[in-house]
Structure 1
C-alpha cells in the first residue's frame, strides 16, 4: 500500500480540487468550468472560476499541506503523537498579529494589513520560542511554545473584550474562526514565498526524524545534528504555518489528524510520513472548504476553522483513548 499511497492521495487531491471548482453557491458544470479556464471573457462563470475559486483552491492546498507536513514533522521531532503546529505558538502568534491589525484599524485602511500583521506575529513568536529554548532541548521547546500560546491567546481575548466597537469584535471573531472566503491572487502571492521554502525545509528533516526515534543521544552518536534539525523544524513551521495562518486564520486539528491518517499505511516511520501527511492535509482542507460552501446550518455557512474543529475534536478524543490503550 505504501508504494501507492502518494499517487492515490495525489489523485484524490486532484479530484477534490476539481470538485471545489464546481461547488459553491453557484454550481458550475464541467463545460462551463472548462470554457472559463480557456477564455478571458468577463462573464460570470469566468469571474467565479478565475478570480474566486482558483485562488481559493491554491490557498487551501498550500494551507493544508503546511499544516499536515508541520504536524508530521513535530510529531516525529518531539516523539509525541499529540504534537501539532499550534504547540510552538506560531498559530497563536499569527492570530495576535491579525487581531492587532483589526483592533487598531489597519485592516480597514489597507486590504493586506491583516495577513501581513499575522505573518509578522507568527515570525516574532517563533523567534522568541527559538531564543528561549535554543539550549534546553525538546522539553524546553514544548514548554516555551505552551507559554507563548497562553500569553498570546490571553492578549487576543483582551483585545476582543476591549474591542472599540461591535464591528471590530465581529471581525476579530470571524478571523479567529478561519475562512478562505474573499481571498484573491494577492493572498496567493503573499503566501507562496513563505510556504514553499517552509515545506522544503520540513521535508529535508525526514532522515533525521527516523534517527530520532532512537532518542536524541543515540541520534547524535549517529551524526545527526539534533540542534540544527530542531531549528529547521521550527523555521519550516514558522514559514509555512505562519503564512498559512496569516491568510486563512486559525484552522485547527488538520496538523494533528493528517499524520495519523497516513501513519498506519507507511509503517510508523516518521520520515516516510511527511509527504503523505502533506498531501493528506491538503486534501482535508480542500474537502472542508467544499463542505463549508455547500452545507448551510441555520441559514449561514460554517467557517472552515469551525468545521475542522467539529471533525477534529472527536478524532482527538479517540486518539487520546488509543494512545492510553497502547501504553496501558
Structure 2
C-alpha cells in the first residue's frame, strides 16, 4: 500500500498543478468561465477578456509556478544536503542577497531605467553572495561550516536592506522597497517570465543533476566519500544552482519565504523519506502551493490586495509549531 501511494504521488501532483494553473487563470476579481478562457487563448472572444487572460493572469500564473517550483526544490535539496529539517534558501543567504540587489536597484533609481535591471541586479548579488559564501566556508566540506557562513552572509545582506530603508530620503522609494520585500506576483508581464525562466531552468537542472549524492550524504561525509561522491564538486554545483535559480526567482517575485520550508515537510510522509525522493514532488508541490496562495490573495476581500509573502509566512508558522512540539518530546 505505501509503495502504491509513492507511485501515485507524482501523477496526483501533476493533476493538482494543472488544476491550480487553470484556476489561477480563471479566478480573480472577475471570474471567467472556461469557455471564455479557451476563446481568449485561441484569439477569439472580446478584447477585455483577452487582456485579462493573456496580459494579466497568464504571466502572473507562470511567474508563480516558476518561483514556487524553484523555492520548493531548493528547500528539499537544502534539507537533504544540510540534514536540517528547518533549512530553506534563506539559510545560505541566497534570498536575502538577491533581495539586497533588488533593493539597491530601487534605492538608486536603477530599476526605473529598464524592467530587466532590477532582476539582473538581484541575480548578480546572488552570485556575489555565493563567492562570499565560498570564501567564508573555505575548503571545509562540512554542512555546519556552510550554515555558519550562510548566517553571516544573510545577516550582512539584511543589514544592507535595513540601511537602505534607514537612509532613504524618498518616502515613495521606501514604500516601494517595503512592498517589494513583502513579495508578490501582481502586475507581472511576460518580460518577467522570460527573465526568470532561464535562471530557474538552470537552477532546477543543476539541483536535479545528481540526486543520488544527497542520498549518500545522509550517511555522513565519510560515508558519502566512500561511495565515490565528490563532496567539493557536489557542493559547488548545488550552491551555484541555488544562487542562480533562487536569485532569478526572487528577482521577479520579491522576498517570499517559507515555501522551501513547508513543501518538503508536506511531501515527505508520502515518500520513502530518502532525500532524492522528495525533490521532484517538492518542485511540483512548491509550484502548486505558491499558485494556490496567489489565488487566495486575489479572492480574500480586502481594501488592497494582500502581499504573497504575508500569506506564505502565516502558512509557515504551523510547520514551525508542529516541528517544535515533535522535537520537544525528545528534550
Output the TM-score relative to the length of structure 2: 0.95
Bigger CA drift: 156-165 or 166-175? 156-165
Is residue 3 from structure 1 mapped to residue 40 from structure 2 by the alignment?
A: no
Aligned 8 A contact 2:182 2:307 in 1: yes
Give the unaligned 5+ runs of structure 2.
Answer: none
* SS of equivalent to 1:302: coil
* SS of equivalent to 1:296: coil
Is residue 118 from structure 1 mapped to residue 143 from structure 2 by the alignment?
A: no
Structure-1 residue corresponding to 2:150: 145
Is residue 231 from structure 1 mapped to residue 236 from structure 2 by the alignment?
A: yes
Aligned 8 A contact 1:252 1:308 in 2: yes
The CA deviation at 1:113 is 2.2
Match of 2:272 among 257, 267, 272: 267
Structure-2 residue corresponding to 1:203: 208
Is residue 127 from structure 1 mapped to residue 115 from structure 2 by the alignment?
A: no
* Cα deviation 1:36-59 (Å, max 9, x = unaligned): 010167701111111111111111
Structure-2 residue corresponding to 1:189: 194
Aligned equivalents of 2:68 and 2:33: distance in 1?
26
Structure-2 residue corresponding to 1:35: 39
Is residue 17 from structure 1 mapped to residue 27 from structure 2 by the alignment?
A: no
Is residue 290 from structure 1 mapped to residue 295 from structure 2 by the alignment?
A: yes
Structure-1 residue corresponding to 2:52: 48
Output the TM-score relative to the length of structure 1: 0.96
The CA deviation at 1:132 is 2.2
Q: 1:81 to 1:279 in 2, by over 3 A?
A: same
Aligned 8 A contact 1:205 1:232 in 2: no
The CA deviation at 1:29 is 1.2
Structure-1 residue corresponding to 2:313: 309
Aligned equivalents of 1:44 and 1:12: distance in 2?
28
Is residue 178 from structure 1 mapped to residue 183 from structure 2 by the alignment?
A: yes
Aligned-residue Cα RMSD (Å) equals 1.3
Aligned 8 A contact 1:205 1:233 in 2: no
Structure-1 residue corresponding to 2:86: 82
Aligned equivalents of 1:249 and 1:310: distance in 2?
17
Aligned equivalents of 1:101 and 1:186: distance in 2?
17
Aligned equivalents of 1:304 and 1:155: distance in 2?
23
Aligned 8 A contact 2:39 2:45 in 1: no
Structure-2 residue corresponding to 1:213: 218
Q: Give the count of matched residue pairs.
A: 326
Bigger CA drift: 261-270 or 37-46? 37-46
Is residue 154 from structure 1 mapped to residue 152 from structure 2 by the alignment?
A: no
Aligned 8 A contact 1:103 1:164 in 2: no
Aligned equivalents of 1:244 and 1:200: distance in 2?
14
